Structure 1
Amino acid sequence: MPRRSRYAPDTIPRAPHWSDRAACRELDDRSIFFPEDFPKGLVLLVTREAKAVCARCPVIEACLEAALERPEPNGVWGGLDKDERQMFRRRQQRRRRRNSRRPRGGDGAKTAAGTG
């Protein structure tokens, strides 16, 4: 008896991915999303152009989330350049640390209100 394959056959269509609906898919030249490759004088202009495409993208949140998960080292992803993503990541880490230090439990407010 032949062994069953654990892989899906090629005839089954691939499930849609968020990137299929990305605004950048419409562009012939996607190099604007990697402004680091341009001459220094053009970096700001190219970055601004890439962010304008991101601003009208229906999947901007999913793109940013994916770039933060990897973490993506270069380019404009989810409307943020590499420096902005780095700052965003640091803010998230600080927020997590702050929240982990907070005492848990809601009894403190009830006890304080009940006395007096």
Structure 2
Amino acid sequence: MTTTTISPARHRSLGDQTWQDKAVCQSTEYNPVDPEIFFPEPDETDKITAAKSLCGQCPVRRTCLDAALENGDTDGIRGGLTEEERKSLHAKLAHRLDYSRVNATIAGRDVHLTRDERTAVVLAAYHHGVTEQRLAWLLKITEEHAQKQYREIRRALRNRGLEKTPTTTPPPETDDDRLGRDDFGTAA
């Protein structure tokens, strides 16, 4: 029986480029790689296939893709995807919500976050009792902005209960169409 161990997600820290040293596309004395293979023309299917094959063996493929999306790189093959394949991901990046990134940030790591992930960090920090000062440090914002974020969360949570639609009681059934005084309830 084989067991599979899932290692925790390793997200690159802000400004971290050390992951590139582990990339299969890095040319070395023993592994010469032509960098032009990652910048094929759309009709060069052999180059595209060869580049994707190398990316498929890369241990930092996901990190490479994240870096390309976060930095807005639209040229070449990055993270095993062509420019066209990444186009839709670029458009959706602001709405990415990866809870492993949120948890890494709460734990104190400097991780690239999308807008939705930043919102999730504020909510998680609020629920875990993280101080406003710590939230400011985690998100690299001012303490005043952290206070504002917590006020908005408190307001949203308080108003969540108010958004429920009140249940109405159906009107009483009567034999005739005339409504009597008791059919209207009491005036406030």
Instruction: Please give the TM-score of this superposition, normalised by the length of structure 2.
Output: 0.39
1:1-116 matched pairs, under 5 angstroms: 17-25=18-26, 26-36=31-41, 41=43, 43-93=44-94, 95=95, 105=157, 107-108=160-161
Q: What amino acid sits opposite 1:35 in the alignment? A: P
**Residues 16 and 87 (structure 1 numbering): CA distance in 2 closer, same or farther, change over 3 Å?**
closer
Q: What amino acid sits opposite 2:74 in the alignment? A: P
- State the aligned residue count: 91
SS at match of 1:23: coil
Q: How far 1:91 sits from its partner (Å)?
A: 3.2
Q: What amino acid sits opposite 2:80 in the alignment? A: G
**Structure 1: which 5+ runs fail to align?**
1-14
**Structure 2: which 5+ runs fail to align?**
1-15, 97-115, 120-155, 168-188
1:10 aligned residue: none
**Residues 89 and 53 (structure 1 numbering): CA distance in 2 closer, same or farther, change over 3 Å?**
same
Q: What amino acid sits opposite 2:64 in the alignment? A: C
Instruction: Please give the TM-score of this superposition, normalised by the length of structure 1.
Output: 0.60
1:6 aligned residue: none
SS at match of 1:52: helix
1:72-96 per-position Cα deviation (integer Å, ceiling 9, x unaligned): 1210000111111111112335x46
**Residues 87 and 20 (structure 1 numbering): CA distance in 2 closer, same or farther, change over 3 Å?**
same
